[in-house]
A and B are shown apart, each in its own frame.
Chain A
């Protein structure tokens, strides 16, 4: 069965993108400093959601999981956004670099030249010590390597899956499994380092050893929520009659488990810093706790309590409606989580969330939705020639 991108879905995407463009323009006119942080925040957020599609796919291949065959087209379609996200990220980074030359860099403090000049009053010994890693040429190289690796593996897996549809046989599956195993190793490294580069380097002095896992855990839930929402939506539309409550149960379990995992990492990071009370570490949480208190607690309650209470029972995980509602809540919750990772480091105490911030997010969501649904419409929703298709169709737990 095929998904066809309806005119209504296309219209909604374009309206959202329009709202986003207006919001971005308005925010550059009113508070350009936070406008840069909004752009970085949303680009990073939706980039990693797309990346989590590929990660989920690779995980299923490498684990030889059978149940997920019936929904594998959805993470495949999510990966289609990665090239767009890469272009957006390059625009944001180089745009900030060019715009920043007039009056200081908006996003990344470590880009200032004076910090590395011992004769300058701005000289910063700590940042100078990190200059072997945090310098412009190496940063740009790393960024390009990430995009090359992520997009390369995404396109390869997609191509193998489409060829399998046409030609059949087990060869494509075996090849995809080998490629996935290689991707998982590279993903383990790049997910950590990209979180340091794009996010942690904003607070240049501060570092946390589990920051990469923390970022990945939070954003993997957003990726899983997108898979859950799309599955629920397609099931409700009657386009995926083969997806039963057993498949929904497995997706629900993933969302529940990774929400708890995220909370564990959030707390592990917070508690060690809180307990040790070392000034250069606690400043990170002091800023967020003193000036972003409402969001700080909202982040914790939305992303931990909601999925924990709602998805705990077996029956809740097996319904499309709960997956839809919890999925939307988690996507908003982790958007706030990412906001708290990026914005305080860029603008400090002078922040706000208004219609322009929400509009920017809606614009990115519209673009993501448009690209993903387009990719979804390009191939049948069921992978007819997958060797584990029958296992998935008869999946029962």
Chain B
């Protein structure tokens, strides 16, 4: 084999390829912690993932405790993806920059039996992944060899229960991406069985 070149200039298009490839690995192996090549913070990581996936064909919503923080995120996402802001019920992707569902998580789109892919993707910015202070989850299903234990720190147990409820009727459900402050992330798909506090 001839080794591939590694000195390719990181232009935005190539960067999106590199980012999506990590997202692809993450979504095909739920619970596996991934890092992006250039993201140093959770905010960077989130925006890069959004840029690699979404554009002006998509709609989004941001849910935050503080209105000013919500607005800041909303503007950032509009600039970076050109997606259109809408209500939680209609959004293709929903961002929770505080890591808190704020009672709105249960309203995200779950798709329908004819078109389950219309289920939204939800993004949580949280404190940490797999540290000692997190809520442990036992996960199994497609993409996971046997069972795996992960821990999420910075998301409430009630929100995890809502996610469980949203995904209880496969193929309806949502995909969740949890991003920590250091720019690491993991995903949970609707097909994954989750036991909270395992």
- A and B are partners in one complex rather than unrelated chains: no
- Seen from chain A, the residues whose Cβ lies within 8 Å of a Cβ on chain B are none
- Seen from chain B, the residues whose Cβ lies within 8 Å of a Cβ on chain A are none
